[in-house]
Chains A and B, each alone.
Chain A
Amino acid sequence: MKKTITAEAIQRYAAASKDTAAIHLDVEAAVNAGYERPIAHGMYIMGLAQSIYLTEHPLQWITAYSMKFQKALFVDSVAIFDYEVDDDRIHMTVGLESGEVIASGTFSVKERQS
């Protein structure tokens, strides 16, 4: 699934998480830190990855989840979320249309009783 990472979404996540580091919100601060523009929070990417999966699989809950962050994801980028299901384990990659991998991880799921 493709998703554009907007500045508005990053601002919403910053407010909820209280992680208001300037590299996520301010162009000048991001450039001073060596980035071409503000970058998404790693934990926003990780959270979004679980949300996309659970929206498609609403009867499951996540019992374990790990992710390695490999590259920065710039605001206004289009991220591609790929999932490979292996029984109750899901391998997941977040990448760009160029093929670059931003993050990769695995989560385990169980069926939940509502």
Chain B
Amino acid sequence: MRSVQHQLHISAEWITQYASSIEAPLQVMNGDLIAPATMPIIFWQAFDIPWLSKDVPFIHGMQRFSYEAPIIAGMNLDCELWLTKVEKKRSKQGWLTFYDHTLVCSSDGALIGTAETVLIRVGDYDEKNNNS
């Protein structure tokens, strides 16, 4: 398994901008602005992910989020993104390559949430060209 790590500061502006892009209502819990449940998917923009080529489109196959506590504005998150499995399957469309990921985010050592993501690449491909 390979992984990349990043620390993220969750600002109120970032939450507001993301919420607006998915037409989500802004929610407050105990006086703190909370992030929409799907927001960790845009944390990927902070990572340099060597196993995903930026030149190749991927299809989203499955997504799952699970929370111990909400992500709130002002939080500093320590996040680690793991590539947990790569699997190639033949289909009617030709070869499909499934990339299974797990993102784990904590704050001050306490687990906040995890996200599992399956991305699919359609077509045959040489893995050596995408692992630079």
Contact = CB atoms under 8 A, between A and B. Distances in A.
A47 B25 contact: no
Contacts of B42: 16-19
Determine the main DSSP class of B at the interface with A.
mixed
Nearest to B54: A21
Contacts of A50: 22, 24, 36-38
A9 to B, nearest CB: 8
Interface stretch (B55-63, B83-91, B96-104, B124-132): B55-63
Interface string B13-45: 000011111111101111000101110011001
B95 interface: no
Interface residues of A, number: 40
Contact of B63 (A12, A15, A42): A42
B4 to A, nearest CB: 16
A51 B36 contact: yes
B64 interface: yes
A63 B67 contact: yes
A23 interface: yes
Given A17-B41, A51-B24, A69 B30 contact: no
A95 to B, nearest CB: 17
B21 A16 contact: yes
B3 interface: no
Contacts of A54: 24-25, 27
A68 to B, nearest CB: 5
Contacts of B57: 21-23, 33
Interface string A3-34: 00000010011011111011100000000011
B65 interface: yes
A51 B26 CA distance: 10
Contact of A44 (B19, B22, B30, B45): B22
Given A51-B22, A54-B27, 7 more contacts: A16-B20, A19-B45, A34-B93, A48-B23, A64-B64, A64-B65, A69-B62
